[in-house]
């Protein structure tokens, strides 16, 4: 089997200490996806093609790739910045005119929702940060094989409605749509399976210093940042999704 060609659309740059230790968000996802492959008993290989869709606004030719992953971002998915509008239109075209499977994480999840007509906006419940429990729907439980997931969160925006033809994978007290799914087409998560204690802690410190998180929010989130999470499980399911789509 030739390597799976994955285009990672990088929608932001990590905070400085994360860049220093882990590289770009594309590299962070490459690490996560490698862990998922290690759980498999086949000889799956993959190659990553990274696209800066913010500054360079470069996008892959679909004939050159097998799947797309949209990263998270500090930016707002429902804003009308030129690069965000271009990203939404690109994903809309991919999902409506091709068979290329798309995975979206956090901001990427919201971009998919917007591209398919969902309502997106600021969550009434406010910030959801650090490791939190996601209660899965019946469809989500079937997909992931467990009733709930523990995953890193870092968002104040949300997808508030489910696009026609897609399935809601789960919810949390602060977020009604924690994931979207359509076999062979879309898999998205509001959470960050690619985050770990180091990445979360660095972001918490930066946003606390920026006064985005007050002392109480910051301190409480730090107590959960090292909790066990299901990032590797998500990685295995991302691969199942991609490979099922191209089979």
Q: How far apart are CA 35 and CA 24, in angstroms?
A: 17
Tokens of 80: 């009308």
- Mapped onto helix, strand or coil, the DSSP state of residue 97 is helix
Decide the pairing of beta strands 179-182 and 186-189: antiparallel
Name the strand (E) or helix (H) holding 159: strand 157-159
CA distances (Å), origin 7, targets 48, 168, 186, 202, 242: 6, 24, 15, 26, 12
The string of DSSP codes covering 164-220 is TT-EE-EEBTTBS--EEEETTTEEEESSBTT--HHHHHHHHHHHHHTTSS-HHHHHH
Decide the pairing of beta strands 120-122 and 102-105: unpaired
- Mapped onto helix, strand or coil, the DSSP state of residue 117 is coil
Q: What are phi and psi of 69, to 5 degrees?
A: -125, 130
Active site amino acids: 106, 192, 194
Tokens of 103: 């995975």
Q: How far apart are CA 67 and CA 5, in angstroms?
A: 7
Q: What are phi and psi of 105, to 5 degrees?
A: -120, 125
């Amino acid at each position: 089997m030739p390597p799976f060609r994955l285009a990672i659309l990088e929608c932001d740059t990590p905070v400085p200490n994360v860049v220093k230790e882990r590289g770009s968000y594309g590299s962070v996802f490459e690490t996560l996806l490698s862990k998922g492959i290690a759980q498999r008993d086949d000889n799956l290989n993959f190659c990553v093609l990274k696209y800066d869709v913010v500054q360079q606004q470069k996008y892959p030719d679909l004939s050159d790739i097998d799947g797309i992953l949209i990263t998270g971002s500090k930016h707002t998915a429902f804003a009308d910045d030129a690069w965000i509008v271009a990203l939404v239109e690109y994903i809309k075209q991919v999902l409506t005119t091709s068979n290329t499977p798309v995975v979206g994480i956090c901001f990427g999840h919201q971009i998919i929702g917007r591209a398919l007509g969902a309502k997106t906006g600021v969550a009434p419940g406010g910030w959801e940060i650090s490791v939190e429990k996601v209660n899965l729907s019946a469809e989500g439980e079937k997909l992931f094989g467990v009733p709930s997931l523990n995953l890193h969160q870092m968002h104040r925006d949300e997808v508030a409605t489910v696009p026609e033809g897609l399935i809601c994978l789960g919810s949390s007290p602060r977020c009604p749509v924690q994931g979207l799914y359509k076999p062979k087409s879309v898999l998205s998560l509001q959470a960050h399976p690619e985050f770990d204690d180091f990445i979360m802690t660095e972001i918490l410190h930066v946003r606390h210093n920026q006064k985005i998180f007050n002392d109480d929010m910051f301190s409480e989130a730090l107590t959960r940042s090292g909790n066990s999470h299901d990032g590797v499980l998500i990685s295995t399911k991302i691969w199942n999704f991609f490979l099922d789509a191209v089979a």
